[in-house]
Amino acid sequence: MSESRCRAVLFDLDGTLADTAPDLAGALNALLAELGESRLPFADIRPHVSHGARAMIGFALNLQPDDEGYAPLHRRFLEIYSAGLAEQTVLFDGMEELLLAAEAHGMPWGVVTNKPARLTDPLMAALELTGRAGCIVSGDTTAHAKPHPEPLLHASRLIGVPPEACLFVGDAERDIEAGRRACRRTLVARFGYLGADDRPDAWGAAGIVDSPAEILGWPVAAG
């Protein structure tokens, strides 16, 4: 293997592999409706999705985990979301073609997400990706979540490819930090859920892509 080439691709889930924002935004607005609050525009919610339920609740209700009343709202949000987590979620345009190309060349791919396994596993199953992914590492699979490198190091062990031979693609700064610490090679998925204040060019990634198809242009190799 050339030093410049990779032999596996790992993806963040929300905002990179799959467009989960419609279902997550729907769950958040359903929670707001239960509380008698006004619905929020999808475009306002979308940039917060990759940062998880904590960020979404913080944005919508100005509550943090240590605040009184946060815990039951967090539980209720996850209940609503888990009941319909794959109603509108789909792979991003071009992602299926990317996965098929990787599989055709014998290149393993996997998912490394901070989403808890109780949500990740049924979502991957609903998308019919469970048997195709070389690994699925959730936020509670290892002792630490991203931006710690441990989830990516664990993923590389599961797929049998050294971390330095893996390419990691994500849409949040913590993804790139984790990838740089573990895999060294990272790409920012600008088609994901970046916010107006995000500065992906300052995150230290190897590159920025505007579509899954562009990932095929990066130095990756099978075997």
The pLDDT tens digits for 58-80 are 999 999 999 999 999 999 999 99
Tell me if residue 171 is catalytic: no
- The span from the CA of 25 to the CA of 22, in Å, is 5
Is residue 130 within 8 Å of residue 136, measured between CB atoms? yes
Position 117 pLDDT exceeds 70: yes
Q: What whole-number distance in Å separates Cα of residue 59 and Cα of residue 75?
A: 16
Mean pLDDT of 155-163: 96
pTM for this predicted structure: 0.94
Parallel, antiparallel or unpaired: strands 90-91 and 18-19: antiparallel
DSSP state of 14: B
- Whether residue 50 contacts residue 171, with contact meaning beta carbons closer than 8 Å, is answered with yes
Using alpha carbons, list the distances in angstroms from residue 68 to 32, 62, 71, 180, 189: 17, 12, 8, 37, 36
CA distance 160 to 155: 8
**In which band, very low, low, confident or very high, does the pLDDT at 216 lie, cut at 50, 70 and 90?**
confident
| pLDDT attached to residue 219 | 60
What are the boundaries of each domain within the chain? 8-19+89-215, 21-83
User: 14, 19, 175, 198: which one is catalytic?
Assistant: 14
Three-state secondary structure call for residue 153: helix
Q: How confident is the model at residue 6 (pLDDT cuts 50, 70, 90)?
A: confident
Q: What is the pLDDT of residue 5?
A: 73
CATH topology of domain 8-19+89-215: Rossmann fold (3.40.50)
Residues 114/139, Cβ–Cβ less than 8 Å: yes
Stretch 12-35: mean pLDDT, rounded? 98
Contact between 141 and 157 (Cβ < 8 Å): no
As a whole number, mean pLDDT of residues 190-215 equals: 95
Helix/strand/coil for 214: helix
Q: How far apart are CA 90 and CA 19, in angstroms?
A: 6
Annotated catalytic residue 12 = yes
Please tell me the distance from the alpha carbon of residue 188 to that of residue 85, in angstroms, as a whole number.
24
